Amino acid sequence: MKLIMERCPTDMCHASTLLKTGPDRFLVAWFGGTKEGNGDVAIWITRGNEEYFDAPQILAQSDEAHWNPVLFRINESKIILFYKVGNEISKWRTMYRISEDNGETFGEEKELVQEDQGGRGPVRNKPVRLENGRILAPGSTEQGIWKAFVDRSDDDGVSWNKSEEVEIRQLEYKAGERTVEKDDSAIPVSEQSFYGRGVIQPTLWESAPGQVHMLLRSTEGKIYRSDSGDNGDTWTDAYATELPNNNSGIDMVPSEDGKLFLVYNPVGINWGERTPISLAVSGDNGQTWKKIRDLSTGEGEFAYPAIIQDEDFLYITYTYKRKNIAFWKIKK
The β-bridge relationship of strands 145-153 and 197-208 is parallel
pLDDT of residue 74: 97
CA–CA gap between residue 273 and residue 296 (Å, rounded): 13
Residue 30: Cβ within 10 Å count? 28
Which residues lie below 8 Å from residue 268, measured CB to CB, with a gap of 6+?
A: 221, 222, 244, 245, 246
pLDDT along the chain (332 residues), means of 10: 97 98 97 98 97 97 98 96 98 98 97 96 98 98 97 97 97 92 86 96 98 98 98 98 98 96 98 97 98 97 98 97 98 94
Q: Which long-range contacts (CB under 8 A, 24 or more apart) does 283-287 make?
A: 283/258, 283/259, 285/207, 285/213, 285/258, 285/260, 286/213, 286/215, 286/225, 286/241, 286/260
Q: How far is 32 from 42, CA to CA, in rounded Å?
A: 6
Cβ-in-10-Å burial (0-12, 13-18, 19+) of 118 comes to buried
pLDDT reported for residue 231: 98
CATH of range 2-331; options 3.40.50.2300, 2.30.30.60, 2.120.10.10, 1.10.3080.10: 2.120.10.10
3-state helix vs strand vs coil in the chain, percent to 5: 5, 50, 50
Q: What pLDDT, on a 0 to 100 scale, did the predictor assign at position 274?
A: 98
pLDDT of residue 10: 98
Q: For residue 192, give Cα distances in angstroms to 33, 90, 108, 182, 189.
A: 18, 9, 30, 10, 8
Mode of pairing for the β-strands spanning 2-3 and 324-331: antiparallel
Residue 267 three-state SS: coil
- Look at residues 153, 144, 124 and name the one whose alpha carbon lies nearest to residue 197: 144
Position 182 scores a pLDDT of 74
Cβ–Cβ under 8 Å, residues 307 and 325: no
pLDDT at 282: 98
User: DSSP letter at 236?
Assistant: P
Q: Going along 195-276, which residue ranges are E strands?
A: 197-208, 211-218, 222-228, 239-244, 251-254, 260-264
